[in-house]
Structure formats: C-alpha cells, structure tokens
Amino acid sequence: MPLDNLIDGRAIAARVQQELAGRVAGLKQRGITPGLAFVRVGEDPASKVYVGRKEKCCAEVGMVSETHVLPAATTETELLVLLAKLNAASHLHGILVQAPLPKHIRESVIFSFVSPAKDVDGFNPVNVGKLMLGDDSGFRPCTPAGIMELLARSQVNTSGAEVVVLGRGNIVGKPMAAMLCQKGAGANATVTLCHSATRDIAAHCRRADILIAALGVPEFVKADFVKPGAVVIDVGVNRVPDATSKTGTKLVGDVAFAAVQPLVRLITPNPGGVGPMTIAMLMQNTVRAAEMAGK
C-alpha cells in the first residue's frame, strides 16, 4: 500500500470551518451572531487546553464565545444554577460543559439539564434519542459526527461496508455505531460493536472494511488486526512513557500506526486526524443551533 494514504483531519476541518464562516456571515447580516458558552469546573490541565482550542476556533469562524470557570469545589446545585442562566440567555445558541467534571458532580445530571436546543455536544437524552431514531432535527455528538464527515469527504463508501467499532462508550462508540447503521446516504453500513468482553476481537477487526478504534488502549490495534486495504480511523488519545521526550511522555493513539499504515488504504494520523474534526463539528452544531433559533 502507498504511504500517501493519510486522511488529513486538519485540512478537512479547515474546509469545514471556511464553509461555516460563510454561514456565520449570512447570520450576521440578519442580526444574529452565533454564541457558544463554555463551562469548566476546576483546573484540569487538559480541559484548559481543549477549551482554549475551541475558543480560538470560535473566533476564526466569526462566532462569539464566553467561558465560565468555576472552582473545583463547586456543588452540583451551583453548576445547575449557572446552566439555568445559560439556557435562558438569548445571545447564546450553544452550551458546552467540559468533561471531566469533579467526581462529586454527576455528568449525567449535568448533560441532561442543558437545553436540548443548545446541547451542541449532543449528550442530552433528547438528542441521544433522536440519533437512535434517525431524527435529523437533533444534534449529533461531535467526535462520531466528525468521523462521518472524514469518511464522506475522503470518498469512503459506507453503504454495505463491514464496519467494526472498538469501544462502547457513550461519547464515541455507541453513537458511532448508531450513525453508521442508519438508512441513508453516508451510512447504510453493517456494524459490529466490540468491547472488553468480545471474544477473539482480532478476528472481528480483520473482517472490517472500516475499522474505528475508540477503546482508549495505547496501540491496541496491531498489524495482524487489520485487513489489507481497509480504512482505519484512530480515535484514541493516550499518554505513555517516553524517555526521549522532554516531558517523559508522548501521545499515541489506539492504533500501532507505523505497523498498520503500510497495510491500509486510508488511515487517520494521531494527532491531526479525528481531533480537529471534533472541534469543527462543535462549531457546525452551534451555527446550526443559531440558524434554528433564528427561524
């Protein structure tokens, strides 16, 4: 297989953002500026970085954002009071509560409290239910939605394809499977959802035309897991020891990239694959929320 087989998530995300900038300009002509609120509880270093990237992307597409930073000792009730204010704020079209939250705050309660009309993360049960029913009026979770966009813009035919999704999490695995098996363009796949209790997981992987790895296990997918000519999407973000790095660690995906890349038709790099698309889909959901609010 050729080694020029990377799916460039940064380039595709840049194209999506350029398209969104045009939609934002159109909204501004109607007196509507899409607004997105970020809520961060505590000082988790990774959360700071992620919110910073999202703030930057908002500015790049012409949206406005505001960030609410609460102390780690904030109670669940105090967070709900803030969310009630954000739900009611007419200048805001989207709300994102950055995970992880402190252990004393139940994420399920918080995500359920965000208004479904402003739930641009796609985690409110109303939007989860719409996804399962194939109702396009809801918001789809950003990472699996970004993967769908990567596949479509890379001209990967999913109709009738054997897709294996590694991981059954609520953020990626389950919604990913639900999106791919829907009846319609860009989906229509036959999906196998594998997890820690799956017997002979490698055999399932070798059957896949499209393999999506979202287990959170460093370099879990080896060369002998992959069918030659398959399309591989690596969602994992794992920090592992690295004596050659100044920090003593490095980031790797769920796929043993160097071993797998020569075997496959297309593969996402990590970083630079799925990550930029997750943020692009957050922007897309927010722009769409503003368009819906302006109707």
Q: Same CATH topology for 31-119 and 142-275?
A: yes
The whole-number pLDDT of residue 245 equals 84
Q: Locate the domains of the chain by residue range.
A: 31-119, 142-275
Using the structure block, give the residue that is written with the tokens 């059954």: 168
Residue 1 confidence (pLDDT): 47
Token pair listed for 34: 């899409």
Instruction: List all residues 6 or more positions away from 131 whose beta carbon is below 8 Å from its beta carbon.
Output: 122, 138, 140, 141, 175, 178, 179
Cα–Cα distances in angstroms (integers) from residue 119 to residues 14, 35, 65, 85, 116, in the given order: 23, 13, 15, 14, 5
Residue 2: predicted pLDDT: 53
> What CA–CA distance (Å, rounded) separates 111 from 113?
5
Is the link from the previous residue into 116 a cis peptide, with omega within 30 of 0? no
| Sheet (strand 231-234) strand order | 190-194, 162-166, 210-213, 231-234, 266-267
pTM of the model: 0.95
Is pLDDT above 60 for 95? yes
Other residues' Cβ atoms within 10 Å of the Cβ of residue 75: 12
The correct CATH number of 142-275 out of 3.90.650.10, 1.10.10.10, 2.40.128.20, 3.40.50.720 is 3.40.50.720
pLDDT at residue number 249:
87
> Helix or strand or coil: residue 50?
helix
28, 31, 112, 114 from 86: Cα distances, Å: 21, 20, 14, 9
Span 53-91, pLDDT tens digits: 999 999 999 999 999 999 999 999 999 999 999 999 999
What is the fold of 31-119? Rossmann fold (3.40.50)
Catalytic machinery residues: 54, 98, 121
Tokens representing residue 175 in the block: 């919604």
Helix (H, G, I), strand (E, B) or coil at 97: strand
pLDDT tens per residue, range 190-244 = 999 999 999 999 999 999 999 999 999 999 999 999 999 999 999 998 888 888 8
Q: CB–CB of 255/213 below 8 Å?
A: yes
